[in-house]
Amino acid sequence: MRYVVVTGGVLSGLGKGVTASSMGVLLKSAGLRVTSIKIDPYLNVDAGTMSPFEHGEVFVLDDGGEVDLDLGNYERFLDVALTRDNNITTGKVYAAVVERERRGDYLGKTVQVIPHITNEIQEWIERVAHVPSDGDNGSPDVCVIELGGTVGDIESAPFVEALRQFQFRVGRENICFVHVSLVPVMGPVGEQKTKPTQHTVKELRGLGIIPDILVCRSAKPLQDETRAKLAAFCHVSEEAVVSAHDVSNIYRVPMMLEEQGVSGVLSGLFGFELPSERPLLDDWKAMADRVDNPAEEVHIATVGKYTGLSDSYLSVIKALQHSSYAVGRKLVIDWIESADLDDQTASADPEVHAAAWELLKGADGILVPGGFGIRGIEGKIKAAEYARKNDVPYLGVCLGLQVATIEFCRNVLDMEGANSTEFDEDTAHPAVVFMPEISKTHMGGTMRLGTKPTPFLVDDCKMRRLYGGADHVDERHRHRYEVNPELIEQIEEAGLKYVGKDETGQRCEIMELDGHPFFVGTQYHPEFKSRPGRPSPPFLGLLMAACGQEV
């Protein structure tokens, strides 16, 4: 087993995740089996309780793990399926050590950060690295480990120390340290400045880790003299100083690294042969070109409440993009803050309200993604109503299925004030209700989570066709509420059909409206399994319908 450890310096948000996953792509293109681990040095046990406003979306794995969105990048880049243990947090490590201490496993010893926490981290990494994630049996060959945060932070110190020790545990020849840094440009002549990188490398070396590869984020390609200077001051060979400059889309990053000889550096360090043909890289190049080719636009109005931070909807954006490549259109996402569609919202400014409606009406398709809490609900219900009545393609994901159901109950079945008990506990018409098995006292990890099978209940429908005629789908869930089982019959009789339900046949999973070009909802989150060359079927359906294609 070889390990590629990616750390970062100077500032956060340098794209360590994309760098790390691109290195994974290069290794995979050489025929190696690659898995990955993301380390998040925060005390939350997992990302499930973190606000998308602050931290971006919560990514959901097959096993129900609620993890950092970077795991989504790894799954999409490397086409793997990871487990909750592939995301290590300070909270998880401390919880494990404290539990052992209570069991008496440390035999009377004083339990300390070094060695107990650092040992726990190393054992965790070794254990998870060997778990296959690409669908085949047997151990992977390489594990790419990304350490979140910036080297030098108090938070990440135990992890840096654990990784320092780890090189002796697994052998220096089996580990490659990659440090991602920033090269800013100053002054009118645009001089590339190396000092921040010199400092962060000094810091890293002071902690006992000597980087083998230096990846330098910059606006323009690194100049030769900058590279030479960095090599000299940072004690890295010139060929291992890599420029990660801005490119037109992220699919170009693996090729950008490849063209600078990174595969050669890795094969030299680890001692593996590079095959002469690497078709995976051709696929990446083709994908990057396809993404850049400007074509006709398709506008998807996305009605949500975290629209200020696009990371809050990262997987939804990716799923839309993947589908747009498949239909050959340039995707434009028109973000609409759902509260702006609601004229009852006290703070509503008439101009903002009008602008939001103009955007909605101008779109080729409407998407209502998942969400929690009452804010903006009425606006989402209005968006679903507009789509239903005007034959505009609509995809509702999780909450989006629920609001479409509420709207249908209110306006087609005349159930005045129909609502979800999440938003109105005393509603006369509970269209969406709390699921009986869910905890009301604990928030973390207690939803209906992870991959569950959804059998189709009809022989033919749009969604079944989109899923290639499959008899069931395996998609990922994250919710506490469901369509009220007592109303299903009534709703279906009026034309909104639940064509897929869970194995018990009770719980609504896939919704389709009769006689509408594309009015679809899923209780699960299909976005998490979308891949660049294999777009998520419901999203593809939305894009096809938005382009006027029959689904």
Q: Looking up tokens 């799954």, which residue turns up?
A: 75
Contact between 378 and ligand GLN by CB under 6 A: the answer reads: no
Q: Which is nearer to ligand GLN, 212 or 422 (CB)?
A: 422
Shortest distance, position 305 Cβ to ligand GLN, whole Å: 11
Q: Does 93 bind ligand GLN (CB under 6 A)?
A: no
- Active-site residue 516, yes or no? no
Active-site pick, 143, 398, 409, 508: 398
Q: Reduce the DSSP state of residue 395 to 3 states and report it.
A: strand
Size of the site for ligand GLN (CB under 6 A): 11
Contact 218, 180 (CB under 8 A): no
Q: Do residues 365 and 543 make contact, with C-beta atoms less than 8 angstroms apart?
A: yes
305 binds ligand GLN (CB under 6 A): no
Torsion of CA 314, 78, 247, 276, to 10 degrees: -170
Per-residue string for binding with ligand GLN, 399-418, x by CB under 6 A?
A: x--x----------------
Q: Does residue 481 belong to the site contacting ligand GLN (CB under 6 A)?
A: yes
Pair 64, 84: CB distance under 8 Å = yes
46 or 422: CB nearest ligand GLN: 422
Nearest to 67 by CA among 97, 37, 31, 112: 37
| Least CB distance to ligand GLN at residue 443 (A) | 11
* Smallest distance from ligand GLN to CB 493, Å: 24
Residue 371 interacting with ligand GLN (CB under 6 A): yes
- What region, left, alpha or beta, does residue 266 occupy, with left being phi > 0 and alpha being psi -120 to 50 degrees? alpha
Closest separation in Å from C-beta 385 to ligand GLN? 19
383 belongs to the binding site for ligand GLN (CB under 6 A): no
CA torsion angle 218 223 227 229 (round to 10): -110
Q: Which is nearer to ligand GLN, 133 or 454 (CB)?
A: 454
Range in contact with ligand GLN (rule: CB under 6 A) among 132-140, 183-191, 312-320, 473-481:
473-481
Among 199, 205, 290, 480, binds ligand GLN (CB under 6 A): 480
Smaller CB distance to ligand GLN: residue 39 or 403? 403
Give the tokens for residue 255.
Answer: 């090729």
- Which residue, judged by CB position, is nearest to ligand GLN in the bound state? 370
Q: Where are the alpha helices (DSSP H) in 139-248?
A: 157-170, 195-206, 224-234
Q: CB nearer to ligand GLN: give 182 or 319.
A: 319
* 527 tagged catalytic: yes
Name the strand (E) or helix (H) holding 287.
helix 279-292
We find the least distance from the C-beta atom of residue 447 to ligand GLN, in angstroms, to be 7
Amino acid at 437: E
When binding is defined by CB under 6 A, the residue of 398, 418, 487, 543 that contacts ligand GLN is: 398
Minimum gap (Å) between residue 264 Cβ and ligand GLN: 44
Q: How does strand 508-513 pair with strand 496-501?
A: antiparallel
Q: Reduced to 3 DSSP states, what percent helix, strand and coil does the chain have, rounded to the nearest 5?
A: 40, 20, 35
**Which of 420, 535, 536 is closest to 482 using CA atoms?**
420
CA-CA-CA-CA dihedral for 281, 284, 288, 289, to nearest 10: 70
Shorter beta-carbon distance to ligand GLN: residue 66 or 342: 66
Closer residue to ligand GLN, CB minimum distance, 55 or 478? 478
**Residue selected from 16, 479, 497, 516 as contacting ligand GLN according to rule CB under 6 A:** 479
The H helix count followed by the E strand count for the chain is 18, 23
Each residue 321-340 as x (binds ligand GLN by CB under 6 A) or -, in order, gives --------------------
For the bound state, the minimum distance from the C-beta of residue 522 to ligand GLN, rounded and expressed in Å, comes to 10
Taking CB under 6 A as the criterion, the residue among 66, 120, 161, 422 binding ligand GLN is 422
Q: Which of 372, 446, 492, 531 binds ligand GLN (CB under 6 A)?
A: 372
478 binding ligand GLN? (CB under 6 A) = yes
Return all residues near 111 (Cβ < 8 A) that are at least 6 apart.
97, 101
Residue 97: what are its φ and ψ, rounded to 5°? -70, -40
Amino acid at site 429: H
In whole angstroms, what is the distance from residue 456 CA to residue 512 CA?
12
Q: Which residue of 148, 370, 526, 538 would you call a contact of ligand GLN, by CB under 6 A?
A: 370
Tell me, yes or no, if 407 is annotated catalytic: no
Question: What is the contact surface with ligand GLN in residues (CB under 6 A)?
Answer: 370-372, 398-399, 402, 422, 478-481
Q: Which residues are catalytic?
A: 398, 525, 527
